[in-house]
Amino acid sequence: MTIGPQTAPWIIFLAILLYGVVHSWLASLGVKAWARRQYGELAKRLYRFAYNIFAVLTLLPVLALPALLPDKQLYSVPMPLALFLLAIQLLAVGAVGLGLLQTGLWSFLGLQQLSSRREISADDQLVVTGLYRWVRHPLYTAGLVFLWATPVMTCNLLALYAGFSAYLILGAVVEERKLLAVFGEAYTHYQERTPMLIPRLPIRRSTQP
């Protein structure tokens, strides 16, 4: 069976959908609780690290699909606008790094848990400062900006980015439920004053003389 350029984007989108379903399920509180019941202290120390390794290894074939399958270019942004978009992507990468540092990079990677007697995660403390002052999920916001600021777009990349965008948005919704379960009323107040993904534009109010 020959895969044509019209079929390839659907294969990529379905692959991302499967990736998102599996990893969202593995990141759920229910699966984590089951692992702790089954494996006790070992699960507390290894779950986050093992989850990250599994996430990276299963992501690699998904990322390879756009290059392996037939493709068609949709547009290419000319210079110097392409340089401007690349600069935006670099800023997005920097925002991801800053966000990870704010919530605990080693804990996010699962390395801190390996040497701890208890499971340490970003959920231990509600971070509402820095980037988290502007949006509740700055890592997801930066990820979306990085995807859609690409200066070259093809059919396969469009499917890849659309799939990852859906995954990030749905992931934010799922994470909201987990954070509400952990922080309760404190997170509800945080939701009320801070948008999920898109920062609020500052509005200057005119003053009457």
Which token pair is 184? Answer: 């309760």
Which token pair is 10? Answer: 């659907």
The residue to which tokens 């692992």 are assigned: 35
131-182 pLDDT tens trace = 999 999 999 999 999 999 999 999 999 999 999 999 999 889 888 988 898 8
Report yes or no on whether pTM surpasses 0.75. Answer: yes
Peptide bond into 80 cis (omega under 30): yes
At residue 121 the predicted structure's pLDDT band, cuts being 50, 70 and 90, is very low
Inter-axis angle of helices 41-68 and 8-26, nearest 10: 170
Query: Quick one: which H or E segment has residue 107?
Result: helix 105-109
Query: Quick one: which H or E segment has residue 73?
Result: strand 73-76
Q: Is the pLDDT of residue 204 over 80?
A: no
